[in-house]
Amino acid sequence: MRNIYHIFFILQKDFADAVKNKTIFFSVAIPVLLSLVFSIALKPKELSKISLVIVDRNRSTLAGALIEASNRQEKLKVITADSFESAKKILQKGNAQAILVFPANYDKNLESGENLQLNLWVGQSGLRSAQVVKDLLNKILYYCKYEKLQPDFVKTKCLYGKNYSPRTAMLPTWILFTVIGGYMVVATSIMEEREKKTLPAILVTPCRLPSFLIGKGLLGVTLVFIGGILILGLNRGFLGNVPAILLILFLGSALFSILGILTGLILPSQTSISTFGSLLFLALFLPVTMAPVSEKLRAVAKLLPSYYINEGIVDSMFMNAGICQLSIHIAYLSILGLVFFILSVLVLKRKEDF
């Protein structure tokens, strides 16, 4: 009986500690919320739905049949565009997963006996989008009796060009993983200063608060920058606009280093920092990696800094995007980093006053 009392006493004490240092919130409440978000976003209907952009200036019969078929079922949504450049912009904004281009005078040339090939351009969702579109096209061919077309009349091409391969496609993800890791490095360093009681000693020195924050943040920026360069170098990832890649890498590493400072000053212990860091990885990483296959997750991802880091590196690496094309990414990361920096100064100043 006494053993049961001891067990209950220890459980009660640990539960109170978990509530006090917010661990119970990070380890229970946030995973539950994330599970609800992903269960809504990753429904089978949502995962199988494809948005297709059709470029067809001559209103070919096959394109019309495809548009009509899309109106009768939910698997495919068709968007029309006047030019391939307009279609590319739609795809790059994440509003579609594939582009189907019909050549000029398609019906006329088909009637004359030519076996014309259609180009199906895909983005990050890749082969899954291509396969869904091809399956639907084959059904239309069967019902509309397009007997002149061969089974391989659709050729899949990647919008990102010859540099895009299964190997290089993973590089932005690995870099994002490294960038988010900068949070843990800096947050742990700040917490060690607090636990060793050296932070108050530093605050009473002539060192100004912004200088202290910049010095602490440079640790994460340096480590992440070195890690990112090693990933690119070892995997032949210096493709496209390399200066733009390095700029996004720098802004991302600075942002998460400052976030590490902020959480290191606010959270009560190393345990809460580790727990929060793990959940931060899930919250920032999964929506971005799953965005190409879910419109709802794509909408959520566009609110996160991880999205602009990943997309900025993808566009720089495979689309050779310049500063103008990346202006939104750069502005978002810079403004959010500045907000975190100001909050960190205010929190640190409050600690200094006490």
CATH of the domain at 147: 3.40.1710.10
Q: Would residue 334 count as lying in a domain?
A: yes
Residues 132 and 213 in one domain: no
Residues 228 and 335 in one domain: yes
Residues 208 and 296 in one domain: yes
Residues 93 and 174 in one domain: no
Q: In the predicted model, is pLDDT for residue 205 greater than 80? A: no
One DSSP character per residue, 58-70 reads T--HHHHHHHHHH
Residues 221 and 317 in one domain: yes
Residues 140 and 259 in one domain: no
User: In the structure, what pLDDT confidence band is assigned to residue 44 with cuts at 50, 70 and 90?
Assistant: very low
Q: How many domains does one find in the chain?
A: 2
Average pLDDT, the chain: 76
Q: Would residue 26 count as lying in a domain?
A: no
| Mean pLDDT calculated for residue range 145-174 | 69
Q: Would residue 331 count as lying in a domain?
A: yes
For 305, counting Cβ atoms within 10 Å of its Cβ (0-12 exposed, 13-18 middle, 19+ buried), the class is buried
Q: Would residue 36 count as lying in a domain?
A: no
Q: Which domain-ending residue is among 134, 158, 182?
A: 158
Q: CA quadruple 97, 281, 219, 235: dihedral positive or negative?
A: negative
109-130 pLDDT tens trace = 766 656 567 777 877 655 556 6
pLDDT at 202: 65
Whether residue 329 contacts residue 311, with contact meaning beta carbons closer than 8 Å, is answered with yes
Residues 328 and 187 in one domain: yes
Q: Would residue 80 count as lying in a domain?
A: yes
pLDDT at 174: 87
Residues 182 and 106 in one domain: no
The contacts of residue 73 (CB under 8 Å, 6+ apart) are none
Q: In the predicted model, is pLDDT for residue 225 greater than 50? A: yes
Q: Would residue 312 count as lying in a domain?
A: yes
Residues 121 and 214 in one domain: no
Token pair recorded at residue 180: 């988010």
Token pair recorded at residue 256: 């998460």
- C-alpha 37/C-alpha 299 separation (Å) is 12
Domain limits for position 123:
44-158
**Whole-number percent of the chain with pLDDT over 70:** 68
Residues 146 and 171 in one domain: no
Residues 117 and 187 in one domain: no
Q: Which domain-ending residue is among 131, 158, 185?
A: 158
Residues 244 and 339 in one domain: yes
Q: Which domain-ending residue is among 158, 193, 220?
A: 158
241-284 pLDDT tens trace = 999 999 999 999 999 999 998 998 888 888 888 888 888 888 88
Q: Would residue 210 count as lying in a domain?
A: yes
Q: Would residue 198 count as lying in a domain?
A: yes
| Mean pLDDT calculated for residue range 165-191 | 83
User: In the structure, what pLDDT confidence band is assigned to residue 327 with cuts at 50, 70 and 90?
Assistant: very high
